[in-house]
Amino acid sequence: MNAKTNIRALSLEQLSSRLTALGEPAFRARQLHEWMWQKGVHDFGQMTNLPVALRQKLSEHFDMQTGRIAREQHSRDGTIKNAVALHDGNVVESVLIPTETRITACVSSQVGCSLDCSFCATARLARVRNLTADEIYDQVTTIRQQAKTHFDRPLTHIVFMGMGEPLLNYPQVMSAIDRITAADGLAMAPWRITLSTAGIPKMIRKLADEQKRIRLAVSLHSAIPEKRTQLMSVNAACPLPELQSALQYWYRQTGSKVTFEYVVWAGVNDTQEDIKALLKFTARIPSKVNLIEYNAIDGGPYQQAGVEAVEAYRNRLLDAGVAVSVRRSRGNDIDAACGQLAGDYQDRQAEPSISNDIMYIPNDRTH
């Protein structure tokens, strides 16, 4: 019954020709485009420089399929986690991460995830569907607004480290990035955007060829084949040598260093042999290593290794001339940290009445 077109799935050219077909002058397309993508207005009724009759006509033919924030949680460290209820009732999460110098939006690219990394909470959900470019874009504009409202600061960075594997939703992720970086979109510099992938060699090469000038992060976690396959089953189909050569290709094409994300787990990858394998792997790729803190997920078998094990990694990497950072986790008191995004927001068919419900998590909440 609902034969309306999602207007935000149309390019400016497509929009122009649809409007022409409706007997409207082409310049209306540009006005509409500006309302939707620069002003972030999602209601035809609010597009005040369009004639009322046109607004009416538009709402007969098109809709916007916008989601809404079903829940907004504030962590004691300032992190904000949003549960975004999409137009079809599915829920994804996005996170605002504030530091002294940055405000980062961590966004989702899929509902659920098709991969099943054994340490990740999102992996417990089946992949339900890909997000559309406008659903990705909306996560960014929401956080941009929250940055303004709660911190009076601009959004400075975007990371595709929320739910889903961005390289398995390639066209929509690329079109969201285009919109975010476009002069007639949010005009953000592409180098402020980091796409994080579990490592799909074919898609890394494709991305390298596109010259989008964004940054690339790869979730590595082990450079020992059998071990990495146990942690990340995608490694069976996309083995380390292929990943390595795709990343070398990435560097040749873009001149941009890869960031490896790496968690050190007790009894899993905390030996000298693990460090040696990592050094060997990274030696052939201009890169840096980000040692990230593990965020425990309920009932999971993994445990963050102790400080000494992480220090051992850090020192050996530094000795070998590899840049390394040790990242403290943010927002884990509200399950907003990496790998904790599992949509614990239960009420998937939530009523509008709870829209914009802000929930502050008390400081003394412990897990």
Q: List the catalytic residues.
A: 93, 338
End-to-end CA distance of the chain: 46
Task: Return the H-helix or E-strand segment holding 360.
Answer: strand 358-360
CB of 119 to ligand SAH, least distance (A): 5
Task: Single out the residue of 72, 134, 135, 261 in contact with ligand SAH (rule: CB under 6 A).
Answer: 261
CB of 197 to ligand SAH, least distance (A): 5
Task: Single out the residue of 50, 223, 263, 291 in contact with ligand SAH (rule: CB under 6 A).
Answer: 263
Closest CA to 156 of 197, 100, 84: 100
| 196 forms part of the interface with ligand SAH (CB under 6 A) | yes
Task: Tell me which residues in 158-187 interact with ligand SAH (CB under 6 A).
Answer: 161, 165
Task: Single out the residue of 198, 203, 243, 264 in contact with ligand SAH (rule: CB under 6 A).
Answer: 198
Task: Tell me which residues in 45-104 interact with ligand SAH (CB under 6 A).
Answer: none
CA distance 89 to 131: 13
Strand partners, 316: none
What are the Cα distances from residue 187, in Å, to 173, 179, 207?
Answer: 16, 8, 20
| 338 forms part of the interface with ligand SAH (CB under 6 A) | yes
Contact 67, 323 (CB under 8 A): no
Which part of the chain contacts ligand SAH (CB under 6 A), choosing from 72-80, 146-154, 293-301, 355-363? 293-301
Task: Single out the residue of 47, 86, 103, 120 in contact with ligand SAH (rule: CB under 6 A).
Answer: 120
| 238 forms part of the interface with ligand SAH (CB under 6 A) | no
Contact 33, 13 (CB under 8 A): no
Task: Single out the residue of 324, 339, 342, 345 in contact with ligand SAH (rule: CB under 6 A).
Answer: 339
| 265 forms part of the interface with ligand SAH (CB under 6 A) | no
User: What is the number of the residue whose Cβ is closest to ligand SAH?
Assistant: 339
Which residues, including other chains, have CB under 8 Å from residue 208's CB and lie 6 or more apart? 246, 249, 250, 252, 253, 254
CB of 53 to ligand SAH, least distance (A): 46
| 294 forms part of the interface with ligand SAH (CB under 6 A) | yes
Task: Single out the residue of 176, 181, 295, 309 in contact with ligand SAH (rule: CB under 6 A).
Answer: 295
3-state SS class at 32: helix
| 287 forms part of the interface with ligand SAH (CB under 6 A) | no
Task: Return the H-helix or E-strand segment holding 195.
Answer: strand 193-197
Distance of CA 24 to the CA centre of its chain: 37
CB of 215 to ligand SAH, least distance (A): 13
DSSP code string of 119-133: T-SGGGSPP-EEPPH
Nearer to ligand SAH, 78 or 300 (CB): 300
Nearer to ligand SAH, 10 or 343 (CB): 343
Binders of ligand SAH: how many residues, by CB under 6 A?
17
| 297 forms part of the interface with ligand SAH (CB under 6 A) | yes
Is 128 buried (19+), middle (13-18) or exposed (0-12) by CB count in 10 A?
Answer: middle
What are the Cα distances from residue 174, in Å, to 8, 29, 92, 111, 290?
Answer: 15, 22, 19, 17, 25
Nearer to ligand SAH, 47 or 140 (CB): 140
| 197 forms part of the interface with ligand SAH (CB under 6 A) | yes
3-state SS class at 281: helix
| 207 forms part of the interface with ligand SAH (CB under 6 A) | no
CB of 193 to ligand SAH, least distance (A): 13
3-state SS class at 76: coil
Helices (H) and strands (E) in the chain, counts: 11, 15
Q: Would you tell me which residues interact with ligand SAH (CB under 6 A)?
A: 119-120, 161, 165, 196-198, 219, 261, 263, 292, 294-295, 297, 338-340
